[in-house]
Structures are given as C-alpha cells and as structure tokens.
Homo-oligomer: A and B are copies of this chain.
Amino acid sequence: MNERLSQQIAFLLEADKLKTVLRRTPLTDASRQENSAEHSWHLVLAAIVMAEHTTGTFDLLRVLELLTVHDLVEIDAGDTFAYDHGHLGTKAERERTAADRLFALLPPDQGARLRDRWEEFEAHETPEARFANALDRLQPLLQNACAGGGSWRNHEVTRQQVLRRMDPIRSTMPAVWPRVLEIIEAFCASGILREEADPVRE
C-alpha cells in the first residue's frame, strides 16, 4: 500500500509540469499564452456544458477522463501546434515515448488504465473520444475568436486548414457547426485567416 501510494503521489507531482507547457492559443484577454493544464480543465468544463449537443449516447465520466489525461504526454513531448506540419510528422513517436515514461510512474494497473484512456483519445474512434476531440478543436477556436485571431494571426493559417481542423465538430456537435462557420468566415473577411495559397505554391 505504501509503495502504491508513493507511486501515485510521484505521478501527481510529475503531472504538475503540464502547467509549464505553453500552447499557441492565447487566453481570451490575449494577456498570455495558455498552458496545457488549464486548457485541460477548460475542456472538462466544456464537456459538462456542451454534452447536450453531441449525437448518440456516450459515457460522460469517460469523456472527462480522456480530457484530463489527453495532454499529459506534452510534459516530455511539448505541445505541437496543430498547423505546424513539420513537427506533426514526429508527434506520434515523441508522444509515445513520453507515454511510456509518464504512465509507468503509476502502479501498473492504474498506469495501463490511464494509458488506455490516452490511446483512446488519440484514436478518435469511440463516441467519447470523438466528442473529446471535437471539444479540443472548438475551445481554441472560441478563444482565438475572442482574442482577435490569436494563434491564427501569427502563423499564416488558411481558411481551408481551419475548416479541416474543425471538421470533427461538424459530425459530433452538428448544432454547433454553423457557429464555427460564422467565426471562420468573419476571420476570413477581416483578413486574419488567409485564403488557400494558389496551387503552384502548394
């Protein structure tokens, strides 16, 4: 029991480091970048509030667990910007190595269980993972919109890139999709989201 408790405490203290991993998304007041721990809390809150907009049946507890652990691997692997295709290529391997280390801090049964939750989130296959991933797309969109363009503004992101990134919201929360389109169109109109580059440049 003592050894088990020590492992759990060591894991929780290690998890503290997620508070120092910075994302590209700013807070809504644009005062600073968001970190991955507070982002994870915000997604858990969003799941509780937005659950009624999902299609089909799902287990909300499981969604909250997926969201709580979904970014833990960033403690070692760092946050990978969704529109950075260079780093996206190495993301899976970096995160797998991180998962090997971090979940092994826990007692084996518990480490395996939480690693399964992380793998489930990454696989986008269960209704719970699809809803959790859709929230992980929606929340930064709302924050970017509130912060006047946020991470789009500084990284030459295109309308088509954002539409592809947001697509999981279309199927998972169809009632929310028109709102997503409104936001994207408004930022295209203001010039912050670029139109797709012409094919020659692609």
Contact = CB atoms under 8 A, between A and B. Distances in A.
Interface in A1-16: 1, 5, 8-9, 11-13, 15-16
Task: Work out how many copies of this chain go into the complex.
Answer: 2
B64 A5 contact: no
Interface residues of A, number: 47
Interface of A: 1, 5, 8-9, 11-13, 15-20, 27-29, 31, 34-35, 37-38, 40-42, 44-46, 48-50, 53, 60-61, 64-65, 68-69, 106, 110, 114, 139, 142-143, 146, 175-176, 179
A37 B40 CA distance: 9
Contact of A42 (B8, B15, B143, B176): B15
